[in-house]
Amino acid sequence: MLAETAANIHRASRGCYGIRRVHAELVHGLGIPVGRDQVARVMQDTGLRGLSGTRKRYVNREHLITTEDLVNRNFTATAADQLWCTDITEHPTREGKVYCCAVIDVYSRRIVGWAIDTRQTTALVLNALDMAVDARKPHQTVVHSDHGTQFTSWAFSNRLRDAGLVGSMGTIGDGYDNAMIESFWGTMQVELLNRKKWKTRLELANAIFDYIEIYYNRQRRHSALDWKTPESFEKPLALHALAS
């Protein structure tokens, strides 16, 4: 029964999926030939709705370039580990704020490195970068960031050089110059952070771990990836590497 299957998909998505992603899961995941309009009617009849929310609008304040911008808002890549984007977000709990730094691979939208702390320090971004480097073993990957003090620090620049990576920064105060990672933060805000009041930092840290590693990287389908998950989008590359 289509209604029951759609409800199961919606439940498995933690209540995040709307019509497009439920339809994608039916067609691409389960091989059920069904039209999007039919899925829309079923979801409307059963009261199933995806999450939606507004994302920040950015206003250009300054355009002072202190480090070369190698991306120029062209967030495309033809292979894994060509271009990474990184940034920090924060969210409150009753105990205080939690800070999360993430590194996203533009090619597959996969979060390849991340770290959580109670302070917004250089150590936070170094831990996220180290996780990405250890997991991916990249070479000459461009790492694009904003001009936060953590990313302009000597320690971060030195770690990039030591790992054979290439730094890149957009203009100051312009979120569109790091739109790929900002889009991820907006998605996580809607699908996780804003859905409840968080009591402790540990509770939120565990939820962020689960969201990134279990749900986002492995289960959440992306329209830009032909409705594949980041993990499944990269699988052909891994199989090709093994064969060669």
pLDDT of res. 20: 85
Read off the amino acid at residue 14. R
Distance CA 238, CA 5 (A): 31
pLDDT of res. 148: 87
Distance CA 143, CA 184 (A): 16
Kindly give the confidence (pLDDT) of every residue in the chain, 244 residues in length, as a single tens digit, with 9 standing for 90 and above. Answer: 788 888 888 888 878 888 888 888 878 777 788 888 888 887 888 888 888 765 444 434 343 334 688 888 889 999 999 999 999 999 999 999 999 999 999 999 999 999 999 999 999 999 999 999 999 999 999 999 988 899 989 999 999 999 999 999 876 655 577 889 999 999 999 999 999 999 999 999 999 999 999 999 999 999 999 999 999 999 876 554 545 4
Structure tokens at 13: 């998505």
pLDDT of res. 175: 55
Q: Which value, to the nearest 10 degrees, does the dihedral of the CA atoms of residues 223, 224, 230, 235 take?
A: 110
pLDDT of res. 101: 97
Q: Which long-range contacts (CB under 8 A, 24 or more apart) does 49-52 make?
A: 49/18, 50/10, 50/15, 50/16, 50/17, 50/18, 50/19, 50/21, 50/22, 51/15, 51/16, 51/18, 51/190, 51/191, 51/195, 52/18, 52/190
